[in-house]
Chain A
C-alpha cells in the first residue's frame, strides 16, 4: 500500500520551530485533512488542528499552509511518496501546532 508523509509543525506560541513526521496510508482522492484526522486518531491525539465542515470548504477553519502555500486542508489532495510540509497560517499569531489565531477580534474572550 502507498503511503503519504506529512511533516507537521509542532509546539506552541513562541516555541522553537519543530516538525514531526507522520506516515499515513494513502487512498486515492484523500485530502490533507483526512490524513490529519487519521494521525489524530491513530498516532497522536495531541496534534492540534482546527476543522469543522470537513470537506465542503464553507467553514474556512482548516486554512493552513501546505508546502508554503495557503490552502484549505479539506480540499487539498494528499500526495503519495513525498513529504508534504504543513505549517500554520502565516501572518497570524501561532497558538499551537497547526492552529493560529483566526478568530475575529470581537469574538475572542480574552
Chain B
C-alpha cells in the first residue's frame, strides 16, 4: 500500500487549495501535498466562476476595505463572523493585485485602470472581472501556472480523501482512495487544510461542478470539528432554466444584468420585484436572497414561466449594445437557439454556494489540532447571505492564510497506522465488490431531489422533518449499495464514499434549518416568515456524545 508523508496536506485543488499550496511553500514548508479527487485546478467552483471578484481597489471611485466590510456584514443579515469577514475584505486588494501581476488579465479601462463594476449589494464599483465570462478559468489557469514552478509542491489528481485520521483528538493525516487504481493510500501530515469547496451538488438544480458534494464538511465533522451557519445555502436567483443551454455556466446572466439592466418579468410579462420591496428603476440592485425568494414566490403563486421560472428579458436593449456587452458570447447563445433581441430566456433559483462551513479562527485553524480550512469550506465570513464577488477573494485570502499558518504548525500528535486501519479496510472491502439492489448513483439522485424539494428556497417544519426521515432511510441503505467489482476507475467505489459524505453534509444543513425557527437571508421558512431579532446568533452543528449530528446555538 502507498504511504505518503508530507508536512502540509491540502484536500481540494480549486482556488483556495492551490493558493494554500503556494503559501505553504512560500512559508518554508519543504513538502506540500495538494490532492484533488478530480483534476488539480480543473474541478470545483473557482474554474466555474464567470462573474466578478470584489476588492476595495479604489480604481473607479474612492473605496476602503472597511466599506467593503460594511457591505459584507449588511448582506450577511447580522450573522457574519466579523473577524473572518474583516480578514477577507482587508486582504482582498493585495491578492487581487497580485493576480494582476501574475497576468490573470483583469479587464481594464482605456486609461489602464482595472475596471470595477457595481454588483448587487455593493455601495460602489468594486467588482473586477476577466472578459468575456472568463474570470474563474483565468484565475484557475494563473494559479496552475504558479504551482507548476514550485518543486516542493506535489500535485496528485484522482485522489479522493475518504477519512481524516485522528490520534488523541488531533488530525494527523488522512486515508484516500486512488480512484485511478482503486487502491487505498495513507497520508501522514502534521497539518491538513480542507479546501474541498461547498455542497451544492446535493441539490437537483445547481451551478457547481459535479464534485462539490459536501465532502470537506463531512470530513471535518466526523473528525470532531464543529460547523457553523449550515442552514444557509445560497440560491443564485437567475440560474438559466430554458431553453436548454450548453457550453455555458447556468449563472452566466448576472454580469449582463449589471451591464445592460436585464429585466425580470413574471409569466405574464410584468415586472414583480417592486412587490418584494426592491426598486430596480435605476439599476440592478436586488440582493440574491431577496431575488431568489421573490422568484420562488411568483412561481408558487402560479405566475411563473412555462418551465417553472420567470423571464429575463433584454429585448429593450438596442442590438448594437447587446453585441458590445456580450461580445463572442452572442454567437455561443445563437448556437443554443437564443436571440436576446427577439425573446427572453427563462431563469430560476439554482443552488450556487454554501455560506456555512468549518468553524475556524483568524489563523484558519479549526478547534481540532492539525485541521485547517480555506475557501468555501470555511463557515462564518458570509453569515446568512454572501455578497456577490466575495467567493474568489475568500478562496485566495483564506488559502493564503491557511497555507502560511499550516506550514509552521507544531505537530499535535504523531501518525499511527493503527488509527488508519479501519478506513483502509473499508476501501478494500468495497473494492472486493458487493451485490445489492440499489446503486450509489440512484441514491444520490434521490438525495438531490429530496434536498431540492424540502430543504430548498422555501422551508417548513413539516418538509424538514420529512427530509430528515428520508435522509435516515438513505443512510441505512448505504450498507446495501451494490458496488461492482474491479478497482481501476471503478465509479461505484468512489461514488459510495461521495454518497456517504453527502448524506452527512445534507443532514447538517437540514438539522440547522429545522432548528432555525425564523426567516433570515438564504434561509426562508414558510411557517416562520419573519426574522427574529432574538435569533441574530449563528448555530453550530457538531457530533453529540452519542455520535449523532446535532445543531445548537453558537457560544
Chain A residues within CB distance 8 Å of chain B: 12-13, 27-31, 40-42, 45-49, 51-61, 74-75, 77, 95-97, 99, 101, 103-104, 106-110
Contacts of A97 in B (CB 8 A): 489
- Given A45-B442, A77-B246, A103-B158, is A56 in contact with B482 using a C-beta cutoff of 8 Å? no
In the complex, 28 of the A-B residue pairs with CB atoms within 8 angstroms, ordered by the A residue number, are A12-B488, A29-B243, A29-B246, A41-B441, A41-B442, A46-B490, A48-B490, A53-B47, A55-B247, A55-B248, A58-B47, A58-B137, A61-B38, A61-B42, A74-B246, A74-B247, A75-B246, A96-B489, A97-B489, A101-B180, A103-B180, A107-B39, A107-B40, A108-B157, A108-B158, A109-B181, A110-B178, A110-B181
Who on chain B is nearest to A74 by CB? B246
Contacts of A108 in B (CB 8 A): 156-158, 180
Contacts of A77 in B (CB 8 A): 246
Contacts of B178 in A (CB 8 A): 109-110
Contacts of A27 in B (CB 8 A): 244
- Beta-carbon contact of B210 and A107 below 8 Å: no
- Beta-carbon contact of B484 and A106 below 8 Å: no
CB of B439 within 8 Å of the partner chain: yes
User: Considering the chains assembled together, what is the distance between the CA atoms of A48 and B158 in angstroms?
Assistant: 14
Q: What 0/1 readout, one digit per residue, does chain B (477-512) give for beta carbons within 8 Å of chain A? A: 000001010101111100100000000000000000
Contacts of A40 in B (CB 8 A): 441, 491
- Beta-carbon contact of A52 and B247 below 8 Å: no
- Beta-carbon contact of B495 and A45 below 8 Å: yes
- Beta-carbon contact of A45 and B489 below 8 Å: no
Of B136, B249, B441, the contact of A45 (CB 8 Å cutoff):
B441
- Beta-carbon contact of B247 and A28 below 8 Å: no
User: Considering the chains assembled together, what is the distance between the CA atoms of A20 and B237 in angstroms?
Assistant: 41
Of A31, A48, A52, A96, the contact of B38 (CB 8 Å cutoff):
A52
Of B158, B209, B488, the contact of A53 (CB 8 Å cutoff):
B209
Nearest CB of A to B334, in Å: 14
- Beta-carbon contact of A109 and B40 below 8 Å: no
Interface secondary structure of A, over-half rule: loop
Contacts of B136 in A (CB 8 A): 58
Who on chain A is nearest to B248 by CB? A56
Contacts of B181 in A (CB 8 A): 109-110
Nearest CB of B to A92, in Å: 13
Who on chain B is nearest to A28 by CB? B244
- Beta-carbon contact of B439 and A95 below 8 Å: no
Residues facing A in B179-227 (CB within 8 A) are: 180-181, 185, 209-211
User: Considering the chains assembled together, what is the distance between the CA atoms of A103 and B48 in angstroms?
Assistant: 20
- Given A52-B42, A75-B247, A108-B180, is A41 in contact with B445 using a C-beta cutoff of 8 Å? yes
Of B2, B39, B336, the contact of A109 (CB 8 Å cutoff):
B2
Contacts of B250 in A (CB 8 A): 55
Shortest Cβ-Cβ A-B pairs, 7 listed? A29-B244, A45-B439, A46-B484, A96-B489, A107-B157, A45-B441, A75-B247
- Beta-carbon contact of A46 and B491 below 8 Å: yes
User: Considering the chains assembled together, what is the distance between the CA atoms of A105 and B475 in angstroms?
Assistant: 38
CB of B127 within 8 Å of the partner chain: no
Nearest CB of A to B439, in Å: 4
CB of B43 within 8 Å of the partner chain: yes
Contacts of B440 in A (CB 8 A): 45
- Beta-carbon contact of B42 and A12 below 8 Å: no
Who on chain A is nearest to B136 by CB? A58
Nearest CB of B to A43, in Å: 10
User: Considering the chains assembled together, what is the distance between the CA atoms of A30 and B244 in angstroms?
Assistant: 7
Who on chain B is nearest to A13 by CB? B488
- Given A45-B482, A52-B211, A110-B2, is A59 in contact with B244 using a C-beta cutoff of 8 Å? no
- Beta-carbon contact of B210 and A95 below 8 Å: no
- Beta-carbon contact of B209 and A107 below 8 Å: no
- Beta-carbon contact of B489 and A107 below 8 Å: no
User: Considering the chains assembled together, what is the distance between the CA atoms of A49 and B494 in angstroms?
Assistant: 12
Nearest CB of B to A61, in Å: 6
Nearest CB of A to B447, in Å: 12
- Beta-carbon contact of B48 and A56 below 8 Å: yes
Q: What 0/1 readout, one digit per residue, does chain B (101-125) give for beta carbons within 8 Å of chain A? A: 0000000000000000000000000
- Beta-carbon contact of B209 and A106 below 8 Å: no
- Given A48-B490, A110-B181, is A59 in contact with B246 using a C-beta cutoff of 8 Å? no
Nearest CB of B to A20, in Å: 13
Residues facing A in B16-48 (CB within 8 A) are: 38-40, 42-43, 47-48
Who on chain B is nearest to A33 by CB? B246
User: Considering the chains assembled together, what is the distance between the CA atoms of A57 and B249 in angstroms?
Assistant: 9
Contacts of A12 in B (CB 8 A): 486, 488-489
- Beta-carbon contact of B489 and A99 below 8 Å: yes
- Given A59-B47, A96-B488, is A107 in contact with B155 using a C-beta cutoff of 8 Å? yes
CB of B402 within 8 Å of the partner chain: no
Contacts of B2 in A (CB 8 A): 109-110
- Given A41-B445, A103-B158, A109-B185, is A52 in contact with B43 using a C-beta cutoff of 8 Å? yes
CB of B420 within 8 Å of the partner chain: no
Contacts of A29 in B (CB 8 A): 243-244, 246, 336
